[in-house]
Structure 1
């Protein structure tokens, strides 16, 4: 991980830890380094008694472009050729496990575009605030793949069946207004005040006794744990089948 020491930035204030994706040259896209960095940071925050709430955001004007397609295309090419691609997806799986298991309130300050994982990770966040100019995109069908990160379950849960189907089937952009109206986000804020508004809400939550927050988060999330795991297993199986499709790797490279 030393090759990208700033893949993730960390800042603590008033029992709130802000984790900032920091790959602005790649629109904060997730590669193995960032997957593992965020998974580790979430585990650290979960174990830190001085942290009550975590906020996720992105550096610059982008929240996250999702999975790094350059890295993904390399994996897909190796897989299609029957070659070893290492432990493909290890970082992705580690991050999803960390998100699903995170025991404290998790907020997102979506400061710009969120594509792929930049959208689907919001299903694991307890409260989502978006910049007024932000847009979200589920590009999976256009890429020839399927939804990821349990989003085939989490997006209908958050947005309702119709709005989730529209987003997943068509790959249309979701505006900040639409995200709020569908229930995917709590509110939209001016970009210049988004992070501070999110911190104010996080600070209000963090002022509550931590044992009560932990117990409440457990009660809110426990009913969905098994359904998320089953959705991820179905998604992984479908993705594996499509990964063997001729031309998928070339198609991914064309999008880089």
Structure 2
């Protein structure tokens, strides 16, 4: 949510080095409204090799902030990855210097009619929460808002030296998202989660590993090779046994995650557009410190 107006189809073979930004399409799954049609990708770049799908968030000028289209495209890419037998694991990373700057603040400033949540966010999270193949993240730079909370749903997280994470929800006058009010305390403990969520302070890469948000600290150049190597190793495991095991793990927290998301969505609908939220957004665009003392 910071520093941006924030926060598949021909699948290339072979990974080494950043891919050329070729026109991408994804053969979408046969879900209502799509009909298996081919839809151009504008916010992602995808490659598949050796059973691993590499997904790059691709809005580098906005530091990969999530807009409506990115939510929808990543949701459908995960749906396709779940459907295709040749995809055994998925790795998500960012293009440029950021993993993701979070929610696009331009869209938060003018939310669509409805429950107050960003359009596409709910269906995207439904897909993430039900994704039953290994989901890995290679955090190559800043991860803010959804750029942090998405990591709580990943099975393995690798983070580059110099990367930083932040949960700025309170400073924006809103509340945590993506069941992070449940998953973060579950992962790091209540008091450490309170420190992260209340203060909105930056978490450096080493601290992210110490807290358990990330599994491994990597040099910037080795980040993606290490993540892909682990993904390939998982891709060689018996696929149905691996999926069954992940479903069992997800089942231990399924109801709690659903309840947390419902509470967060209800609270977010109250907070977005509130005087505190409006002041925070105005201050962001005016490049000043927000003043909540007179609200």
Structure 1 residue matching 2:165: 3-state secondary structure: strand
TM-score (norm 2): 0.80
C-alpha separation between the residues in 2 aligned to 1:61 and 1:215? 36
Aligned residues: 248
State the match for 2:92 in structure 1. 56
C-alpha separation between the residues in 2 aligned to 1:235 and 1:253? 23
Alignment root-mean-square deviation, CA: 1.9
TM-score (norm 1): 0.92
Contact 1:74 1:249 (C-alpha < 8 Å) held by counterparts: no
Match of residue 78, structure 2, among 34, 37, 42: 42
Q: CA deviation at 1:165?
A: 1.0
State the match for 1:81 in structure 2. none
Specify every segment of 5 or more residues in structure 2 that has no aligned partner in the other structure, as ranges.
1-24, 26-38, 286-295
State the match for 2:146 in structure 1. 117
State the match for 1:249 in structure 2. 278
Q: How does 1:143-158 map to 2 (within 5 A)?
A: 143-158=172-187
Is the aligned partner of 1:168 residue 2:197? yes
C-alpha separation between the residues in 1 aligned to 2:117 and 2:234? 37
Q: How does 1:1-256 map to 2 (within 5 A)?
A: 5-75=41-111, 84=113, 89-246=118-275, 248-256=277-285
Q: CA deviation at 1:255?
A: 1.8
Q: CA deviation at 1:159?
A: 1.7
Q: CA deviation at 1:88?
A: 5.2
Structure whose alpha-carbon radius of gyration is higher? 2
Contact 2:109 2:273 (C-alpha < 8 Å) held by counterparts: no
- Structure (1 or 2) with the greater helix fraction: 1
Contact 1:73 1:250 (C-alpha < 8 Å) held by counterparts: no
Specify every segment of 5 or more residues in structure 1 that has no aligned partner in the other structure, as ranges.
79-83
Q: 1:4 to 1:15 in 2, by over 3 A?
A: closer
C-alpha separation between the residues in 2 aligned to 1:247 and 1:144? 5
Extract structure 1 runs of 4+ deviating beyond 6 A.
none
Contact 2:55 2:93 (C-alpha < 8 Å) held by counterparts: yes
Q: CA deviation at 1:247?
A: 5.3
